[in-house]
Amino acid sequence: MLLETKEVTQRFGGICAVSGLNLKIETGELVGVIGPNGAGKTTVFNIITGIYNPTAGSIYFDGSDITGMKPNKIAAKGIARTFQNIKLFKGLSAIDNIRIAHYASAKYSTLEAVLHVGRFMAEERRILDSSFELLKFFGLEKYASTRARDLPYGLQRRLEIARALALKSKLLLLDEPAAGMNPREIDDLIEFIRNIRESFGLTILLIEHQMRLVMTICERIVVLDFGATIAEGTPEEIKSNDRVIEAYLGKKKPREVSDNA
Amino acid sequence: MSSILSALSSRATAPALVAMGFLLSFAIPEYGLLDLYVQLVLIYVCINIILSLSLNLVNGYMGEFSVGHAGFMAAGAYMSATLTAKIFPPDQVALLFPVAIIAGGIAAAILGLVVAIPSFKTRGDYLAIVTLAFNMIIKAVFDNIDYVGGARGFIGIDRLTTLPMTFFWTVMSIWVMRNFIYSKYGRGMLAIREEEIAGEMMTVDTRRVKVLAFVISSFFAGIAGALLAHMLQFINPRMFDIIKSTDILIMVYLGGTGSIIGSILGATIYTVLLEVLRPLEMWRMVLMPLLLVVLMIYRPQGIMGMRELKLFIPGYDRVFMRRKPDEKEKPDAA
């Protein structure tokens, strides 16, 4: 078990955004989270990554309890994410976007940093080399010194994933990676996600509205509505699940029910 | 122009410039190459460079908005002046002056640590108000300490600040802050400025980065305060009020945020212009702000705004020149 949430509940004032969520993800799995708008999907990501401290319940990652840990510590443990509305460091070059993600892995002290001595030089060289390697893998090498904001939208998405992988994470959380993409780009994205999963040995949890993408690549799907799990299973099972159809399309009118009876 | 810039980026340039500057800073007072007034202006320029670069660390690189920088200066000025005028044995004051300067820096750094704490909780406008309040508190505190002269001011400070010493501290502060900027902590500051949440998700310890930036920034403000006190030989709390803080802000935004060369240019131009415009008397203080308004309209990013001289970027070629030569994109630096 790589990630497990036990009875996680998140309240904002009177609103219960997530209630009693039990999520289990095995190492190597590719799991999709779907649900109508406002179902609490992104909130789940924010809880896992430590942005929110859950009102109740606990979260285990890789065998240890990470409930209430600071976001940067959780990230250093190996959970990386992307955002629904890309959150790159827009004014910085692509290479610096990646280098920032090496904060925790850079092993030098403040004094070494301020004087540029000791382990500093070797560490910075390592960070620079591995950042370039990553850019190369993602075909972004020639944009190394281009500011993130000047990259086309598709490449921004790619850079954000590259940045997340710079953490050498075990678990990757993708928040609507296909948002704003056309069908052709979605095909590429499907290929791309499969590719990085293989190359980096990742476990992936993704939120997506794009059904084609979810149904094609996810092995297991979790459906949320009003902060609670309403269904869980393979894409085939989910497609024919009544509660899922109800959550997305609404209930049949009672009159029709009585007509049928 | 580009050939000058590329010559400036060679490895030997920075040490050569520093060595030349050092020689000059000794030679100028020794042989009276410049008259005393110009020498004073030079010292002023150096002090202002330290001030604007140290504020740029917090306001430009980290994107916070601190408006109480003069408060840290005051701490450094009063701490060092107390040591040299009241505590150190009079016959050894000149020898112990470097200790007093560092003590001034440390006093300011400790204050910086205290101010950094509310900065965890507040950002933007709120932090501005916190630092503004801090600046006022500092002034009020010194107004009421009779031991250091209270509101009348602190008199009897020796003239210990020399041109070589000021130059040394200017080079030190530029070097240390440049090193900080081009390390993981510096990149952490940029992450906080650009997208704090994403920074945390990318393992940046934002709390630690903020503390470090504040402490280093206020340390150098304290150093500048110590140098200023021993140049003017007189300090009073009013010299370190919000007006002084505004002056430093102007230098930062004039030169351009997030740029070392910007801070150097901003401080130099502002200081020299104020001196050059002295004959205009009261109109000077009308013309100067007017110039700033014009600058903000036509060049809101300041003179250098986020651009940097290659000279200040360690390993520039390693980072930005890896691309194949056929690539056309311009790197984000001058």
Nearest residue, CB atoms, A142 vs list B195, B319, B323: B323
Q: What is the DSSP letter of B177?
A: H
CATH 3.40.50.300 fits A87-168, yes or no: yes
Residue B302's region, left for phi above 0, alpha for psi from -120 to 50, else beta, is: left
Cα distances (Å, whole numbers) of residue B315 to A127, B10, B13, B124: 13, 10, 13, 33
What pLDDT is recorded for position B241? 93
- Tell me the percentage of chain B whose pLDDT exceeds 70: 91
Please spell the DSSP secondary structure of A113-129, one letter per residue: HHHT-TTHHHHHHHHHH
Q: What is the pLDDT of residues A91-103, one digit of tens each?
A: 999 999 999 999 9
Tell me if A1-78+169-261 shares its fold with A87-168: yes
Contact at CB, A113 and B176, closer than 8 angstroms: no
Please spell the DSSP secondary structure of A168-235, one letter per residue: --SEEEEE-TTTT--HHHHHHHHHHHHHHHHHHT-EEEEE-S-HHHHHHH-SEEEEEETTEEEEEE-H
What pLDDT is recorded for position A252? 65
Q: Is residue B116 part of a domain?
A: yes
Nearest residue, CB atoms, B332 vs list A90, A93, A124: A93
Mean pLDDT for the stretch of residues B139-162: 94
Q: Where are the domains of chain A?
A: 1-78+169-261, 87-168
Please spell the DSSP secondary structure of A20-65, one letter per residue: EEEEEE-TT-EEEEE-STTSSHHHHHHHHTTSS--SEEEEEETTEE
- What value does the mean pLDDT of chain B take? 89
Res. B329: pLDDT tops 60: no
Distance CA B241, CA A132 (A): 48
Q: Which of A171-185, B17-31, B210-224 has the highest mean pLDDT?
A: B210-224
Contact at CB, B180 and A72, closer than 8 angstroms: no
Tell me the H-state helices in B155-300. 163-181, 184-201, 206-232, 242-255, 260-276, 284-298
Q: What is the pLDDT of residues B98-146, one digit of tens each?
A: 999 999 999 999 999 998 887 777 666 788 888 999 999 999 999 999 9
Contacts of A197 (CB under 8 A, 6+ apart): A30, A204
Domain A1-78+169-261: CATH class, spelled out: alpha beta
Closest residue in A to B177 (Cα–Cα) = A114
Cβ-in-10-Å burial (0-12, 13-18, 19+) of A4 comes to: middle
Mean pLDDT for the stretch of residues B171-182: 96
Mean pLDDT for the stretch of residues B308-312: 85
Nearest residue, CB atoms, A132 vs list B182, B205, B322: B322
Which residue range(s) make up the domain with B209? 8-242
Write out the two tokens for A54. 């859950």
Q: Is residue B321 part of a domain?
A: no
Contact at CB, B198 and A128, closer than 8 angstroms: no
Res. B33: pLDDT tops 50: yes
Q: Which of B184, B204, B215, B322 to probe the A interface (max A CBs under 10 A)?
A: B184
Instruction: Give the ipTM.
Output: 0.90
Mean pLDDT for the stretch of residues A195-210: 93
Q: Is residue B273 part of a domain?
A: no
Res. B225: pLDDT tops 90: yes
Write out the two tokens for B304. 């250098």
What pLDDT is recorded for position B6? 55
Q: Is residue B319 part of a domain?
A: no
Closest Cα in chain A, distance from residue B5 (Å): 18
Closest residue in B to A165 (Cα–Cα) = B202
> How are beta strands A64-65 and A56-61 bridged, if at all?
antiparallel
pLDDT level of residue A161 (50, 70, 90 thresholds): very high
Q: Is residue B128 part of a domain?
A: yes
Number of domains forming the structure of chain B: 1
Q: What is the pLDDT of residues B231-261, one digit of tens each?
A: 999 999 999 999 999 999 999 999 999 999 9
More confident residue, B322 or A73: A73
Mean pLDDT for the stretch of residues B291-316: 85
Distance CA B226, CA B90 (A): 18
Closest residue in B to A96 (Cα–Cα) = B187
What pLDDT is recorded for position B153? 94
